[in-house]
Structure 1
Amino acid sequence: MRILIISQHFPPEKSGNASRIFDMSNHLQKLGLSVTVLAPHPSFPSGSFKRKWSISESRKVNGVNVINLLAWQPNCQDPGFMGRIAYYLTFPLHTVLWIFFNLRKFDVIITSAPPIFTGFGGIPAKLLFKKKWVMDVRDLWINASISLGFLKKGSLFEKMSRAYEQICYSNADLICVTTEELGQDIMRTYKNIDGRIMRITPNGVDTDFFYPMNLPKKNQIIYAGNIGHAQDLEDVILAMKKINEEFDLKLLIVGNGDIKGYLEKVTVENGLTDYVEFPGLLPREDIPKIISESLIGVAPLKKLKTLEYAVPTKAYEYMACGIPFVGCGEGEIRKLAEVSGGGVIAENDPNAISDAILYLLKNPEKRVEMGRKGRTFVNEHYSRQHIAANLKSDIESIEVEKAILTLNDGISYAGSQ
């Protein structure tokens, strides 16, 4: 079976979704599928890559065909609205043009969102070329944009985006979502979606890559991921003042994102530069090591109704490396902490966060126990190897259902003669 994956991000970019698409494509290829990934020239985080203006470039990554297409590439860390929209729109529009000349080479197309516009390629693939379309949905991008103040509720842009998403959901053969809550939100928001085409496909973690390394522990706690508006990192930073009244340790905020500069300013203004460090983006190969030598990982989501479906990939990575996590937020992240035994949830408040971290620091046996439970849990339920195998089965089931429908149509037609 020949699979085409359309994604806004792919390595050498270092975002969480880039690594997830890399793992998905790699594992599907190992399972015997022929996989091609369509992505723009590397440009995230903005300004960290040299701009490329070639129409397309092809390369092989672990047997996977990767084709980078020309798209607008912002050249600063926090691009304005027009720069972001140009980045998000030029790539999917280019994919539509590419599809008209190449889609006969593929059997199934997978579009990964966010951003929502990657679905542009799925519409002609399904409606014109009759290909099977799998929507890989990682979050409610429109809802999150409204709750975080980037999009005005009821605006023309929101209405147009909703109408476009309705077209996508109504035509997809399979909708893969990270959590049950996300699937339910989609079905509540959009009309006439058959629940039978929903599949839970968690972000998960590559448990062969992320594993507990036998390293001496350092006096540090870690955040490793996107430094964005949905994360309550400011409260974690402010919690470090109380924590360091009893323990001498540092908070490492590893990564990059829109609010990194603001958080660095918060750190300086509160006299916390001795306790909080921003190492920036590190190679993916370094992340399991730096997690393994940390005492605790933090996964602080803001307490918003529109984020209750979310489970940050970093929580899986902490557990896979055998350390407990302290999270914030409600919904799925709280469920993960409780069911796995690998994490605790604190209120979105510096005192509550510091109390949760101090409890674990004062109880090393509890930390070890939670780390062991977390590793076992993700290995059994959230390894990306198993997730890819399930996705392959789901994709193959589309073809089986198609064959059954064709057979039934033929029988019905014969019976009418």
Structure 2
Amino acid sequence: MHVLHFDLKRFKDEPPRDTNCILVDAGLADVDDPSLYYILNFPHHLLKMRETVKREEIDLVVSANILPSLMANFLKVPIVFDYLDHLEESAAIYYPDSAFGKLVKSGVGMMTRYNLRKADSVITVTEELKGFLKGIGVEEVAVIPNGVDTSLLSSIPADEAKRALGLEGDLLGYVGSLEHWVDLETVVEALPSLDVKLLVVGPGLFTDYGDKIRRMAEDLEVADKIVFTGAVKYSELGRYISAMDIGLNPLKKMKKNEYAVGGKVFNYLSCGKPVLSSRMTSLVRVLGDELVFYDDKESFIKGVEEILRRPRDERRHREVAERFDWRAIATEYEKVLRRFA
């Protein structure tokens, strides 16, 4: 499997995760802004795709983005589009509350709909996203949920993990990007009412959302209750999650979040941790009583207190994750690919 490697300037110093795939370097123009990066690099991306398809005799392309996916339609090979979330909102969120953001959303929406309709098949992660796809005229849709590699993410004793990280006490944890689709605002607003600390594991991407959360914490005088780690290696992620007493999935109300089920909830569960999540349509349907949901600051506080009172049941959470192990999910994914390769 050959994977086009988009080496955006901001992440050039981040080492790629270990993989058996062959990474195809596709960078040329070196810029920070993601939209400008893809616009300036699209001729080079198309050239790299054509060269790779011809040289390696590629049988099928799995497409999962916007402008490069548009160009993939000209490669004359079958395409399966992997539609993980609401791409037009995902792209526009990097330009919050701006006219350019609205332009990006409109343009990405048109390109994505074209890409989806041209694909031989579309794989998506929830029934809600399948309904959206059917509504825009996509006929061939398979629903395959997100998951986790439970062999790579497993727990170590919480006390041992906390000691290794220099932490103590009850610990809430968030793993993921610091961007405007996340609702860490509610979490920070709740901290004055809770005797806990917050561990935030992950980088900012293209906006100042992380700085906004830091300023908010300072204004509420809870900055000493929050630890920001930045990006960590995937191989070390299990230790950070193991240190947590509760894994958080705080999301803003938007289609991108309502219709998708991201991987972080399965990461927490794989390490045996209970999950407190914003109430999202797809999550409630897929995982239901396996998670605790909240709707506002007050219910977030109650959710934290409820979970901390419960006896720990790591085995139960781990068993939920094992139902969504990539090894089982991959066989379903492979069946779709083989139909069109």
What interval of TM-score do these two structures reach, taking the shorter chain for normalisation? 0.7 to 0.9
2:62 aligns to what?
A: 110
Query: Please, which moves more after superposition, 253-262 or 147-156?
Result: 147-156
| 2:246–2:275 CA contact under 8 A, matched in 1 | yes
2:174 aligns to what?
A: 223
| 1:320–1:379 CA contact under 8 A, matched in 2 | yes
Gaps of 5+ in 2: 163-167
Deviations 1:351-370 (A, max 9, x none): 2211110111122x1xx23x
CA distance in 1 between counterparts of 2:315 and 2:120 reads 39
Q: What is the total number of aligned residue pairs between the two structures?
A: 326
* Aligned sequence identity (%): 21
1:112 partner amino acid:
A
CA distance in 2 between counterparts of 1:387 and 1:375 reads 16
Deviations 1:346-388 (A, max 9, x none): 01x222211110111122x1xx23x4332112212x1122222
CA distance in 2 between counterparts of 1:50 and 1:288 reads 22
1:373 aligns to what?
A: 316
2:24 aligns to what?
A: 67
SS of residue matched to 1:252: strand
CA distance in 2 between counterparts of 1:92 and 1:393 reads 31
CA distance in 1 between counterparts of 2:22 and 2:172 reads 38
CA distance in 2 between counterparts of 1:145 and 1:102 reads 27
CA distance in 1 between counterparts of 2:31 and 2:100 reads 26
1:19 aligns to what?
A: none
The RMSD of aligned alpha carbons is 2.7
Q: Which has the higher contact order (CA 8 A, sep 6+)?
A: 2
| 1:308–1:330 CA contact under 8 A, matched in 2 | yes
1:409 aligns to what?
A: none
2:148 aligns to what?
A: 205
Deviations 1:76-121 (A, max 9, x none): xxxxxxx3311233444422122333313200111123xx223123
2:191 to 236, 240, 247: 240
Map 1:179-190 → 2, pairs under 5 A: 179-188=126-135, 190=136
1:332 partner amino acid:
S
Query: Residues 64 and 203 (structure 1 numbering): CA distance in 2 closer, same or farther, change over 3 Å?
Result: same
1:10 aligns to what?
A: none
CA distance in 1 between counterparts of 2:327 and 2:172 reads 28
| 1:304–1:329 CA contact under 8 A, matched in 2 | no
Map 1:20-169 → 2, pairs under 5 A: 35-41=1-7, 43=9, 46=10, 48-50=11-13, 62-75=19-32, 83-104=33-54, 105-113=57-65, 116-125=66-75, 129=76, 131-144=77-90, 149=96, 158-169=105-116
CA distance in 2 between counterparts of 1:200 and 1:151 reads 34
Deviations 1:128-160 (A, max 9, x none): x2x110111111121455688457699665554
CA distance in 1 between counterparts of 2:21 and 2:90 reads 32
2:331 aligns to what?
A: 389
Query: Residues 41 and 156 (structure 1 numbering): CA distance in 2 closer, same or farther, change over 3 Å?
Result: closer
1:343 to 276, 291, 294: 291
CA distance in 2 between counterparts of 1:267 and 1:67 reads 41
Question: Who wins on radius of gyration, i.e. which is larger?
Answer: 1
> TM-score, length-normalised on structure 2?
0.86
Q: CA deviation at 1:203?
A: 2.6
CA distance in 1 between counterparts of 2:141 and 2:253 reads 26
Map 1:405-416 → 2, pairs under 5 A: none
2:304 partner amino acid:
I
CA distance in 2 between counterparts of 1:159 and 1:230 reads 18
Q: CA deviation at 1:310?
A: 2.0
Gaps of 5+ in 1: 1-34, 52-58, 76-82, 400-417
> TM-score, length-normalised on structure 1?
0.71
CA distance in 1 between counterparts of 2:42 and 2:279 reads 32
2:284 aligns to what?
A: 334
Q: CA deviation at 1:236?
A: 0.4
CA distance in 2 between counterparts of 1:226 and 1:149 reads 16
Q: CA deviation at 1:161?
A: 3.4
Query: Residues 306 and 374 (structure 1 numbering): CA distance in 2 closer, same or farther, change over 3 Å?
Result: same
Deviations 1:26-71 (A, max 9, x none): xxxxxxxxx111112254xx2x5359xxxxxxx9965421111124
| 2:92–2:102 CA contact under 8 A, matched in 1 | no
SS of residue matched to 2:301: helix
Deviations 1:275-303 (A, max 9, x none): 11112111111111111121111001112
Query: Residues 372 and 89 (structure 1 numbering): CA distance in 2 closer, same or farther, change over 3 Å?
Result: farther
